[in-house]
Chains A and B, each alone.
Chain A
Amino acid sequence: MGSLTALLEGFATAAQPEYLLYALLGVTLGTAVGVLPGIGPAMTVALLLPLTYTLEPTAALIIFAGIYYGGMYGGSTTSILLNTPGESSSIVTALEGNRMARAGRGAAALATAAIGSFVAGTIATILLTALAPTIADLAVTLGPADYVALMVVAFTTVAALLGSSPARGLAALGLGLFLGLVGTDTLSGQQRFTLGVSTLADGIDVVVVAVGVFAVGEALYVASRLRHGPVEVVPVGGRWFTREFWSRSWKPWLRGTFIGFPVGTVPAGGADVSTFLSYAAEKKLSKHPEEFGKGAIEGVAGPEAANNAAAAGVLVPLLTLGLPTTATAAVIVAAFQSYGIQPGPLLFTDNSGMVWALIASLYIGNVMLLVLNLPLVRIWVKVLQIPRPYLYAGILLFAALGTYAVNFVVDDLIVLLVIGVAGFFMRRHGYPVAPLVVGLILGPMAEEQVRRTLQISEGDLTALVASPFAAATYGVLAVVLVVATVVRVRGSHRSRALASPPSVK
């Protein structure tokens, strides 16, 4: 069956009113959490994981993918109107976007972010549609050792590229791997690190960890340094539908797309890196370099396109290899697993109906997001103004509720609190939390594959690097690490230089 026929069938499924509603729910929630500082798509998907007990897989995954895409749209609104990013992938947007808003061109900034997100999201989804089945076909031939290689790539890149230093990123990964060890070993049936506590024998639930670090840890961190007083939102001003708007925006949109998508597909830190690259490219190519730092529209259009394209790119390794490269993708893997489905090359043959409906819903979700974020943007401005005491109290309440609702036992809340406090100190000291979540979810999978490989090879360790694919992967990893480190150092220099605004007092 050709991909096109499969995609059309996917549309037939996704266009049913029921699924349209699920997609709308997903993208609306996603935009809301994208707009609200302090909560992101990873935590929201984690909180909604219990939905997998009641909803069928297609419906749940459509909601989760909608949240993921929506988060990328919503983050820009906060960046532009508050000068503080709603999501880490919108840090760059705050540089130029907020200057534009303060200069009375907020409408143009919001419009170029929304339309750019739509253009990039759609093109990147087309690329995903074209590439994913081919990659899945190739990936079917991969053995356990090859998977180990891919997971090692995911571990090292996620851990080494995030956070304030590689040591801290890898430590966070180690903490996640440790949490993944707690419980009963699947292959031998032995209990590990359970301290004799019966709650821990089943392992620590992904929901509890993700909610603990993202919601409780983050809320405690913000509370420790809460900016008091009312939230100051820059009023949206100016017109956007002008000739200059289009002529200065369309090229950055396309460039952002083609920077973001490849960066998303390789495990190199996800959307954040792509925004830095795009910003640097726009600044270099612009005919108005003097405007950068004072509100250049290209500096909003490019990065906002790039982060959406990267979000679609992340879905390529997720769907074809089962390899999550961001925290949100890791939590989505957990959702697949709770249905007993292993995302990976077999997804396109064993669950093709579901996966194509999911892809089709991404196209539909993008259209919905354009409507939600362009004509309806003023609603989100209201959401931004929720008084912070209530916002963070609500985050804590729903974090506790989501955790409690997994098993209805108070013990889970104790684990949540412990992990939340640990998350607070990680946040405080520059330990990134994404590697922890990726380690928790990928760790047990990696262990199983390693042990399977060594079972076949009867303990011969060279089996791990014997296949050409695995050997090549480790080689590429070395190269990527070097290149990405260089890019990151440059990117953070740029953003830091620009992030200190000339004080307007």
Chain B
Amino acid sequence: MIVERIEEYVFGGLVTALGVFTLVDATTITARGTAGTVGPRAFPYAVGALLVVTGVAAIVATAKGKLGQAAKAADAADADTGLRTDWPTVAKLVAVLVAHLALIDVVGWPVAAVVLFAGAAWTLGAVWWKALAVAVVLALVVQVVFASGLGLSLPAGVLEGVPLLDG
């Protein structure tokens, strides 16, 4: 619980920091010939102030023991709030997403999609070969639908030139 409380402080701190950044960066926005009217800086100042105030308020609320998580009991169907946070799973999913976006331009969308789907399903507990099989079918179907049906072509990458897949 103590770790989660520290996290809440950090998040509130980040909101405050973003507010400060907004206020500081807003002074660098060029505002020419807007005398007498409201220029492009006013709204950023207001938003920056809102972020600073709410960030601090969230920190104060946390200090008073009003944690954000406590109120969230019954709303996530597949999440068991009683469980400990499974950080390795979150990290793996983020890694899979990074791999996906790094691979698109290198090997094409279908292969990158297989990596994303199979990687995510396996991370979450699916049998690896089943996840892989579903991923291959799904990626190919989406690629064909985009290439032929929607007229929007996803980069085929290593599968370039293959009929149906390369739109």
Q: With an 8 A cutoff between CB atoms, is B79 at the interface?
A: yes
- Asked if A393 and B71 sit within 8 Å, CB to CB, the answer is no
Which residue of chain B has its CB nearest to the CB of A448?
B43
| Contact A393 to B117, CB < 8 A, known contacts A220-B90, A226-B78, A454-B38 | yes
Tell me the residues in window 208-259 of chain A with beta carbons closer than 8 Å to chain B beta carbons.
Answer: 216, 219-228
B124 neighbours in A (Cβ, 8 Å):
223, 226, 388-389, 392-393
Residue in A177, A393, A420, A447 whose beta carbon sits within 8 Å of that of B126 in the complex? A393
25 CB < 8 A contacts A-B: A37-B77, A38-B78, A164-B69, A167-B54, A167-B61, A170-B57, A171-B15, A175-B18, A185-B40, A225-B86, A388-B125, A390-B126, A390-B131, A392-B120, A397-B138, A400-B97, A404-B109, A408-B152, A413-B101, A417-B94, A429-B11, A429-B69, A430-B71, A431-B68, A450-B38
The distance from the CB of A439 to the nearest CB of chain B, in whole angstroms, is 9
- Asked if A225 and B83 sit within 8 Å, CB to CB, the answer is yes
| Contact A225 to B81, CB < 8 A, known contacts A397-B116, A429-B7 | yes
Please tell me which stretch of A19-27, A84-92, A357-365 contacts chain B, meaning at least 4 of its Cβ atoms lie within 8 angstroms of it: A84-92
| Contact A175 to B120, CB < 8 A, known contacts A91-B75, A164-B72, A220-B90 | no
Residue in A163, A168, A414 whose beta carbon sits within 8 Å of that of B101 in the complex? A414
- Asked if B44 and A429 sit within 8 Å, CB to CB, the answer is no
A443 neighbours in B (Cβ, 8 Å):
43, 47
Instruction: A439 to B55: give the CA distance in the assembly, Å.
Output: 16
Instruction: A413 to B150: give the CA distance in the assembly, Å.
Output: 21
- Asked if B50 and A170 sit within 8 Å, CB to CB, the answer is yes
- Asked if B44 and A428 sit within 8 Å, CB to CB, the answer is no
A425 neighbours in B (Cβ, 8 Å):
7, 11
- Asked if A164 and B131 sit within 8 Å, CB to CB, the answer is no
- Asked if B55 and A171 sit within 8 Å, CB to CB, the answer is yes
Residue in B37, B44, B70, B101 whose beta carbon sits within 8 Å of that of A458 in the complex? B37
B87 neighbours in A (Cβ, 8 Å):
224
The distance from the CB of B143 to the nearest CB of chain A, in whole angstroms, is 10
The distance from the CB of A125 to the nearest CB of chain B, in whole angstroms, is 28
Which residue of chain B has its CB nearest to the CB of A396?
B120
B38 neighbours in A (Cβ, 8 Å):
450-451, 454-455, 459
A178 neighbours in B (Cβ, 8 Å):
18, 22, 47, 51
- Asked if A223 and B101 sit within 8 Å, CB to CB, the answer is no
Q: With an 8 A cutoff between CB atoms, is A5 at the interface?
A: no
Known: A393-B121, A455-B38; 16 extra A-B contacts, CB below 8 A, are A37-B76, A38-B76, A84-B77, A85-B77, A168-B54, A171-B57, A174-B54, A185-B29, A225-B81, A225-B86, A389-B123, A397-B138, A421-B94, A430-B68, A430-B69, A431-B68
- Asked if B80 and A227 sit within 8 Å, CB to CB, the answer is yes
A175 neighbours in B (Cβ, 8 Å):
15, 18, 51
Q: With an 8 A cutoff between CB atoms, is A94 at the interface?
A: yes
- Asked if B37 and A85 sit within 8 Å, CB to CB, the answer is no
- Asked if B101 and A227 sit within 8 Å, CB to CB, the answer is no
Binary per-residue interface labels of chain A (143-185) against chain B in the complex, 1 for a CB within 8 Å, 0 otherwise? 0000000000000000000011101101101110110010001
Q: With an 8 A cutoff between CB atoms, is B93 at the interface?
A: yes
Please tell me which stretch of A107-115, A186-194, A333-341 contacts chain B, meaning at least 4 of its Cβ atoms lie within 8 angstroms of it: A186-194
B57 neighbours in A (Cβ, 8 Å):
167, 170-171
Tell me the residues in window 58-85 of chain A with beta carbons closer than 8 Å to chain B beta carbons.
Answer: 78, 82, 84-85
B97 neighbours in A (Cβ, 8 Å):
216, 396, 400, 413, 417, 420
Residue in B44, B89, B122 whose beta carbon sits within 8 Å of that of A226 in the complex? B89
B100 neighbours in A (Cβ, 8 Å):
400, 413
Q: With an 8 A cutoff between CB atoms, is A424 at the interface?
A: yes
Instruction: A193 to B23: give the CA distance in the assembly, Å.
Output: 11
Interface of B is mostly: helix
Instruction: A421 to B97: give the CA distance in the assembly, Å.
Output: 11
Instruction: A178 to B87: give the CA distance in the assembly, Å.
Output: 29
A219 neighbours in B (Cβ, 8 Å):
93
Tell me the residues in window 1-58 of chain B with beta carbons closer than 8 Å to chain A beta carbons.
Answer: 7-8, 11-12, 15, 18-19, 22, 25-26, 29-32, 34, 36-40, 42-44, 47, 50-51, 54-55, 57-58
A451 neighbours in B (Cβ, 8 Å):
37-38, 42-43
B37 neighbours in A (Cβ, 8 Å):
451, 454-455, 458-459
Q: With an 8 A cutoff between CB atoms, is A496 at the interface?
A: yes
| Contact A221 to B68, CB < 8 A, known contacts A174-B51, A417-B97, A417-B98 | no
Which residue of chain A has its CB nearest to the CB of B25?
A193
Q: With an 8 A cutoff between CB atoms, is A367 at the interface?
A: no
Count contacts on A: residues with CB < 8 A to the other chain: 81
Q: With an 8 A cutoff between CB atoms, is B105 at the interface?
A: yes
Instruction: A388 to B30: give the CA distance in the assembly, Å.
Output: 50
- Asked if B68 and A164 sit within 8 Å, CB to CB, the answer is yes
Instruction: A419 to B165: give the CA distance in the assembly, Å.
Output: 31
Q: With an 8 A cutoff between CB atoms, is A405 at the interface?
A: yes
Query: Sorted from nearest, which 3 A-B pairs have the closest CB atoms?
Result: A430-B68, A37-B77, A84-B77
The distance from the CB of B148 to the nearest CB of chain A, in whole angstroms, is 14
- Asked if B51 and A429 sit within 8 Å, CB to CB, the answer is no
B42 neighbours in A (Cβ, 8 Å):
450-451
Residue in B74, B81, B98 whose beta carbon sits within 8 Å of that of A495 in the complex? B74
Instruction: A88 to B77: give the CA distance in the assembly, Å.
Output: 10
Instruction: A225 to B76: give the CA distance in the assembly, Å.
Output: 10
Q: With an 8 A cutoff between CB atoms, is B142 at the interface?
A: yes
Q: With an 8 A cutoff between CB atoms, is B73 at the interface?
A: yes
Q: With an 8 A cutoff between CB atoms, is B107 at the interface?
A: no
A408 neighbours in B (Cβ, 8 Å):
152, 154-155
- B18, B84, B124, B146 pick with most chain A CB within 10 angstroms: B124
Which residue of chain B has its CB nearest to the CB of A397?
B117
Instruction: A2 to B83: give the CA distance in the assembly, Å.
Output: 58
Instruction: A392 to B57: give the CA distance in the assembly, Å.
Output: 34
| Contact A85 to B74, CB < 8 A, known contacts A174-B47, A181-B44 | yes
- Asked if A170 and B54 sit within 8 Å, CB to CB, the answer is yes
Residue in A174, A397, A417, A499 whose beta carbon sits within 8 Å of that of B50 in the complex? A174
Tell me the residues in window 439-498 of chain A with beta carbons closer than 8 Å to chain B beta carbons.
Answer: 443, 447, 450-451, 454-455, 458-459, 492, 495-496
B116 neighbours in A (Cβ, 8 Å):
393, 396-397, 400
